[in-house]
Structure 1
Amino acid sequence: MKFRVDRDVFTDAVAWAARSLPVRPSSPVLAGLLIEASNEGLVLSTFDYETSARADLAAEVSDEGSALVSGRLLADICRSLPAKPIEMSLEGPRVSLTCGSARFSLATMPVADYPTLPKMPAATGTVASSDFAHAVAQAVTAAGRDDMLPVLTGVRIEIDGSTMSLLATDRFRLSHRELTWNPQTPDASVAALVPAKVLGETAKALTSGSEITIALSSGDGGEGLIGFEGTGQGGVRRTTTRLLDGEFPKVRSLFPSEHLTVAKVNKADLIETVKRVALVAERNTAVQLKFEDNQLVLDAGSGDEAQATEVIEAEITGESLTTGFNPQFLLDGLTALDGEFIDLAFTQASKPVVISSTDAGESDSFRYLLMPRRLLS
């Protein structure tokens, strides 16, 4: 194996493939990045039996062949290289990498021991890459991070014709985002539970091209696979991941159809005020929000400890009420919203609030539902 390749193109491809490498691989070869050189160029790939990543890129290949090297080490080396072409060659049991006057020699692992990557499922449809990345970034805000509840660490993707819905919850909050996409079959109806971390990283990394192809397959016994394909710097990028098993909670009914109190607030003002007031909130305590007389009063702290109060303008329709929320969860939802103004809609103080944009436009249908926290007396 011997080839010459553009430094930036190779570095980008290595970073794409190495991003999903396991921190604690069950086998040493799973920490490897497979480099395959042929007359068609290079293929870089990683696979840990759950998530696979593959990058195709152009290169001047002198000798065909393959090598398996430490993926994280190669990624670190590539980021540090000067802006000159990279030359790599397999020399016995080691790989030689030269860039300008920098030279590295890397140990290899047995290629024969590396698992075969899963095949990309048949395409289900396409979606604008920038729209998808933004929608996913909003949806994953509410995804759980507790591995003891794996179902809640995923984002449920529901496809109904040309509408795609993204849902996530960690039991304390819920995100719902809809967007338009282009299905292969006009009347397509399918659902999948995708690991939120993989989905978020993949959507963010595939914004170089104009669109992303989504490929979904459901296997036997409820086990399935989802694949994403797009373009990166210098070539095609593909990734697949196994779907999460389990029943995602039926959360759509949590969004109420009517509201007794709705407050319209400037988003930036509310974000900055919550940040300031929360500075004196003790850990695991709520920031109080009192809505009345077209004002929103925020309070935190109690007793002999530090206290804070701040007032901002609000257009309030309906009854006055006082409630409280985890300040970080509230900020997560606020920062995920677009537009200048937001609506906070309540049925009553002890029930969840539904936060949405007032002026973000029809293209952004993101809703964030947040459970209240008990206020200290």
Structure 2
Amino acid sequence: MEFRIDRTAFAEAVGRAVRALPARTPVPVLGGLLLEADAGRLAVTGFDFEAAVRGEADAEVVAPGRVLVPGRRLQDVCRVLPEGPVSCALEASRFTVEADGTRFGLSTLPLAEYPATPASPPPCGTVDADAFATALAQVAVAAGRDDTLPLLTGVQLRLEAGGMTLAASDRYRYAVRRLEWKPEAAFEDVLEALLPARRLLDLVRSLGRRGDVRIGCDPAGSGMIGLEGGRTRTALRLLDGRLPTYKSLFDMAGAAVAEVECEGLAEAVRRVAVVAEPNSPVRLDFSAGGSVRLRAGYGDDVASQRLPATLTGAEEVPVAFNPAYLLDALTTFDSPRVRLELMGAGQRALLHAVPDSGAGAGAHRHLLMSVRQLV
């Protein structure tokens, strides 16, 4: 095996594939990257049974072949390589990397022990890469981080002819985002898949934000969802189960409605929360007089700030939220103003954007449980 490749293209292919490698593994070969050189291209694959990433780059292949190299060590080498062409070769059991007089020798892993990577699931349709990455980031903040409750660590993907829906919940909040996609002509079913949120976010970042992402679906067969963008292909194994339905939770009949400048509210929450004890709430007192007063802290250690806001449906509504959860929600909106539908202290609050044009309202919604104990 021998090939020559541009340093940037090599580093990018390795950097994408290394995202699939586990942080720790009792199986040494799963810490390796599979390099395959053939017919003018280099393919770099990482796989840990739960996720697979395959990145490709153009290369001048002198001798085709395959080799398994410690992945993170190869990534470290790529980071320090000088710019320009890179020559790589397999010499007995050593993989060499050379560029502009700098030469590295890396040990190899037993290729025969490397598991077969999953085949790409059949295509279901495509979605704009930037819109998909943005939508995923908006909902993933609501996914749980407790691995003892794997169901709540996922993002639920729902595909139907009329659109795509992403949803996540950790029991205390529930984020939902709907966006357009282009299903294949043969796609007529409704498909739901629960995917690990953190792995999905990381894999989608490897695809970039340009062009389209092709989605492959075969949950009943391989138990995986495939995502392909540019010259990168990924596959991610599904979690068991599905999230609780949210339609009844998002029914806010009878709620008071407040509107406030989004970035101003987020900045005020950051400011007053400085004096709050860990897990202490930030209180928001909305009034029909045209303002909201934020308060945090106890005793002599307190902070407050008043902001312009509108309130309809009630004379006043006091609510309190975990400041980290409220900030997570506010920072997912890209509109100047946010609307809060409020049921009262200790009850649900539904946040969504107030676009300048009025178009797109409701595409992204974030439900928070308010804290019963007011500061």
Using structure 1 for the length normalisation, give the TM-score: 0.95
2:147 maps to which residue? 147
Q: What is the Cα deviation at residue 246 of structure 1?
A: 1.9
Structure 1, 112-121 or 40-49: larger mean CA deviation: 40-49
Q: How does 1:220-259 map to 2 (within 5 A)?
A: 224-231=223-230, 236-259=231-254
Q: How does 1:84-233 map to 2 (within 5 A)?
A: 84-184=84-184, 185=186, 187-219=188-220, 224-231=223-230
Q: How does 1:1-377 map to 2 (within 5 A)?
A: 1-184=1-184, 185=186, 187-219=188-220, 224-231=223-230, 236-292=231-287, 293-304=289-300, 306-319=301-314, 320-359=316-355, 362-363=359-360, 365-375=363-373
Distance (whole Å) between structure 1 residues aligned to residue 308 and residue 50 of structure 2 = 49
Residue type at the aligned position of 2:226: G
Distance (whole Å) between structure 2 residues aligned to residue 55 and residue 49 of structure 1 = 17
Q: Is the 8 A contact 2:168 2:243 kept in 1?
A: no
Using structure 2 for the length normalisation, give the TM-score: 0.95
Q: Is the 8 A contact 2:38 2:64 kept in 1?
A: yes
Residue type at the aligned position of 2:189: A
Aligned residue for 2:346, secondary structure, equals coil
Distance (whole Å) between structure 2 residues aligned to residue 202 and residue 29 of structure 1 = 21
Residue-by-residue CA offset, 1:29-51 (whole Å, 9 max, x unaligned) = 00000111112411110111111
Distance (whole Å) between structure 2 residues aligned to residue 369 and residue 259 of structure 1 = 16
Aligned residue for 1:373, secondary structure, equals coil
Unaligned stretches of 5+ residues in structure 1: none
Distance (whole Å) between structure 1 residues aligned to residue 39 and residue 88 of structure 2 = 15
Segments ≥4 residues shifted beyond 4 Å: none
Q: Is the 8 A contact 1:179 1:363 kept in 2?
A: no
Unaligned stretches of 5+ residues in structure 2: none
Residue type at the aligned position of 2:229: G
- Same amino acid, percent of matched pairs: 41
Aligned residue for 2:331, secondary structure, equals helix
Q: What is the Cα deviation at residue 204 of structure 1?
A: 2.4
Aligned residue for 1:269, secondary structure, equals helix
Distance (whole Å) between structure 2 residues aligned to residue 195 and residue 8 of structure 1 = 30
Q: Is the 8 A contact 2:215 2:228 kept in 1?
A: yes
Residue type at the aligned position of 2:219: S
Distance (whole Å) between structure 1 residues aligned to residue 92 and residue 263 of structure 2 = 60
